[in-house]
Chain A
Amino acid sequence: GAGVSQTPSNKVTEKGKYVELRCDPISGHTALYWYRQSLGQGPEFLIYFQGTGAADDSGLPNDRFFAVRPEGSVSTLKIQRTERGDSAVYLCASSLEGATNTGELFFGEGSRLTVL
């Protein structure tokens, strides 16, 4: 498809388990973002990649969260020792321009994570 693809669309796990969420951005988009959307809230920034490197990870809540983008395309958000408070929809977005002020990000439909 032509859009941002995220898998899985839904993930239910138990407290303490490890989770990986995958994002496949639009082909050719150099910038990739992860956001988290809790119930009743707007998306909150987690991390931004320009190419393979994390240019800004200031939004990651703690060291249980980590993200990689080894080849500059697909990205994986990794959450260790999940907690119930991690339950949210994790959104991935990509853009062509990178760190610019246009703000036109192309979002995937998100991965809904539920931690029991």
Chain B
Amino acid sequence: GDSVTQMEGPVTLSEEAFLTINCTYTATGYPSLFWYVQYPGEGLQLLLKATKADDKGSNKGFEATYRKETTSFHLEKGSVQVSDSAVYFCALSDLSGAGSYQLTFGKGTKLSVIP
């Protein structure tokens, strides 16, 4: 079945540091790929997405490129801020055997940014 593997946390960075959170996936079809973020005390929200190979998703200074050859979708940001402290989830959407699209999530990576 489909699966998503992302780097384990927690990750602690100083403000303005460069961020990379690795994500690789296994899927039988041609999935869309996503990064969701969960800020403290809030629900999951979509950060960015890419629906086909070589697409780049971007939002709020974060970027991720859909790499079919390496089955990866690594999240990057050039300069993190304290407000980026959150849990980040990599996910894929694929057609299930029951005929509906489901999101499959990784375990999440907790990021803490210190001033």
Q: Residues of A with Cβ closer than 8 Å to B?
A: 3-4, 33, 35, 40-45, 48, 50, 55-56, 58-59, 91, 93, 99-110
Contacts and interface: CB of A to CB of B under 8 A. Distances in A.
B46 A103 contact: yes
Contact of B43 (A3, A42, A104): A3
Contacts, number: 76
B10 to A, nearest CB: 11
Interface of B: 4, 32, 34, 41-46, 49, 51, 89, 91, 93, 95-108
Contacts of A44: 105
Contacts of B41: 109
Contact of B46 (A33, A59, A105): A105
Contact of A102 (B43, B49, B102, B105): B49
B43 A109 contact: yes
Contacts of A106: 43, 45
A42 B42 contact: no
A48 B44 contact: no
Contacts of A56: 96, 98-100, 102
A36 to B, nearest CB: 11
A104 B46 contact: yes
B7 to A, nearest CB: 13
Given A41-B107, A42-B4, A42-B108, A103 B101 contact: yes
Contact of B105 (A43, A48, A50): A43
